[in-house]
Amino acid sequence: MIAPHVSDTDALYLIKVGEIHLKDGNRTEFDDRLKYDIKHRLAGIKTELSSREGRFYLRIDEKESTRAEYVLSHTPGVNGWARAHRVRKDIESIEEAAATVISPYLEAGPQSFKIEARRSDKGFPLDSYGVAREIGGRLLRRFPGLSVDVHTPALVVNIEIREKAYVFILGGSGVRGLPVGSGGRGLLLLSGGIDSPVAGFRMLSRGLALESLHFHSYPYTSREAWEKVRDLASALACYAGGMLLHTLSFTEVQLKIQKDAREEYATLYLRACMMMAADMVAKKLKLNSIVTGESLGQVASQTAENMRFTGSFTDMALLRPLVGTDKEDIMRQARTIGTYDLSIQPYDDCCVLFTPKHPVLKAAYEKSREEFLAMGFEKSVAETIDSMNTVRLPCAFTPLREP
Ligand code: ATP
Ligand code: MG
């Protein structure tokens, strides 16, 4: 129920939840998790969040509406949202509200529309079809730029007749997917590149809460390179609701690889050491999976054979959400989620140090594992974890538009 003591001048949002609808058995758990997440992101602000008939309703002080819209646009599990007009249940008030929601769209020129009405108050004199017909007719007479298109309308005006009448156009789009944490908590291997932030975003939107792990090779990599990774983790924190970024120094490990390994195996062995470290960290932090931004065939270390090799250094669930995604599509998504411009800043990642001219493309599994294990990397990798550095990155609020 929407609590009665909230003033009618507060902003009211209708929230369409996503795939939660598929989860019949544990629906309440998913609902509760999403509600908790939205409330947590709006901590310190007086809000009322309720659910009814498969929708959420958020009521919040008008002054906080920009922040609310930011949160609703960045929270996995939210499919879409709308600022709703809540009016008296009479045709004139509903017409006024419908005119108010539709008129900004008409500034751009003529528009097609349809009305979708739902009547859960069966005492209301018109049924859903009657409401749609009546309000549709009135809007057509009122706005010459409007035309009806029931199949592919540009605008859908929603009218819901409940204890009051709600009128809205679903304008804001959400991240979709599942509430963060419903899939457990994983470890994202976050480099400064384009791919891993996108991989992280994809898993966040599948409900996997994330902590990030970055390997640097100071002084071979710079302070700025780490700051770039921190900024990428901060960008992901906006979707995650906050993020822990762990950093390990891999300088010693890389120097050992350079000293002991055959040159063409340097990158592959570095990846194997990263996987070993990720496995140890994930287990220490009791996480359920490891996430990477690998994509089949993108570079030499990402052939199926080499991914088999690196993947063999963990028995955790190893999630590679980009494995079948084209680089251009990854770049497009990086732009959409706001990480692309950070990723293309030109700071060296530790992977480019001591990069072999001719990296091995298809490691022979048994032979390479034997050779790698004989070099005894486990001890030097474990030592890096003893001095792991962790920062907590908040879900920084950046307004979508100037208030
Ligand atoms: P990205 O893949 O993020 O664009 P990249 O192309 O520099 O960065 P790749 O060589 O494709 O990195 O590495 C594959 C994956 O290995 C990355 O997506 C990331 O998950 C992980 N990885 C690589 N370098 C690092 C690092 N320095 N710290 C943490 N993870 C890393
Ligand atoms: Mg990559």
The pLDDT value recorded for residue 350 is 64
- State whether the beta carbon of 340 lies less than 6 angstroms from ligand 1: no
| Contact assessment for residue 77 and residue 20, using Cβ atoms and an 8 Å cutoff | yes
Task: Look at residue 402 in the predicted model and tell me its pLDDT.
Answer: 38
What percent of the residues of the chain are helix, what percent strand, and what percent coil, each to the nearest 5?
45, 20, 35
Alpha-carbon distance of 400 to 403, in angstroms, equals 9
Specify the CATH class of 10-173 in words.
Answer: alpha beta
pLDDT by residue, tens only, the chain of 403 residues: 343 334 556 889 999 898 765 666 777 888 999 999 999 999 999 999 998 877 899 999 989 999 999 999 999 999 999 999 989 999 999 999 999 999 989 998 999 999 999 998 889 999 999 999 999 999 999 999 999 999 999 999 999 998 889 999 987 789 999 999 999 999 999 999 999 999 999 999 999 999 999 999 988 888 999 999 999 999 999 999 999 999 999 999 999 999 999 999 999 999 999 999 999 999 999 999 999 999 998 887 789 999 999 999 999 999 999 999 999 999 999 999 999 999 999 877 766 667 788 888 888 899 999 999 999 999 999 999 999 999 999 887 665 433 3
**Each residue's pLDDT tens digit, 122-158:** 899 999 999 999 999 999 999 999 999 999 999 999 9
Residue nearest to atom 30 of ligand 1 (CA): 189
Per the DSSP assignment, residues forming a β-bridge with 206 are 178
CA–CA dist 152, 399 (Å, integer):
32
Instruction: Pick the ligand that lies closest to the CA of residue 268.
Output: 1
Q: Provide the residue ranges of all domains of the chain, joining segments of one domain with +.
A: 10-173, 185-393
Phi, psi of 17 (to 5 degrees): -90, 155
In angstroms, the Cα distances linking 103 to 144, 150, 400 are 11, 19, 22
| AA letter at 19 | E
Q: Angle at CA 63, nearest 5°, toward 58 and 66? A: 70
For ligand 1, atom 12: residue with the closest CA: 193
Given a contact cutoff of 8 angstroms between Cβ atoms, the answer to whether 235 and 214 are in contact is no
Question: Which residue among 351, 352, 355 has the greatest number of ligand 1 atoms within 8 angstroms of its CB, and so is best to mutate?
Answer: 351
Give the integer Cα–Cα distance in Å for 57 and 78: 12
Domain 185-393 part of CATH 3.40.50.620:
yes
Q: Does any ligand 1 atom lie closer than 6 A to the CB of residue 208?
A: no
Q: Is the CB of 290 under 6 A from ligand 1?
A: no
> What is the arrangement of strands in the sheet containing 47-52, beginning at the earlier edge strand?
47-52, 55-60, 11-17, 78-83, 172-173
Question: How many Å apart are CA 94 and CA 85, to the nearest integer?
Answer: 9
Measured by CA distance, the residue closest to atom 5 of ligand 1 is 193
Among 217, 212, 255, 214, CA closest to 380: 255
User: Which pLDDT does position 129 carry in this prediction?
Assistant: 94
- Residue appearing with tokens 């970055």: 214
Instruction: Report which protein residue has its CA nearest ligand 1's atom 17.
Output: 293
DSSP class of 199: H
Secondary structure in 3-state letters for 213-233: EEEECCCCCCHHHHHHHHHHH
Query: What pLDDT, on the 0 to 100 scale, is given for residue 346?
Result: 87
Distance 327 CA to ligand 2 centre (A): 9
Q: Is the Cβ atom of 384 under 6 angstroms away from ligand 1?
A: no
Q: Would you call 294 exposed, middle or buried from its count of C-beta atoms within 10 A (0-12, 13-18, 19+)? A: buried
Kindly state if the Cβ of 272 falls inside 6 Å of ligand 1: no
Supply 12's token pair: 């009211």
Q: What pLDDT score does 163 carry?
A: 84
| Ligand 1 in reach of 191 Cβ (< 6 A) | yes
Count of CB atoms situated within 10 Å of the CB of 376: 11
Q: How far apart are CA 126 and CA 139, in angstroms?
A: 17
**Lookup result for tokens 């992101």:** 41
366 three-state secondary structure: helix
pLDDT score at 331: 97
Cβ(241) – ligand 1 distance below 6 Å = no
Q: How many alpha carbons lie under 13 Å from residue 346 in its C-beta half-sphere?
A: 0
Q: Which of 188, 190, 194, 195 to mutate to test the pocket of ligand 1 (most atoms within 8 A of CB)?
A: 195
Q: What is the pLDDT of residue 228?
A: 95
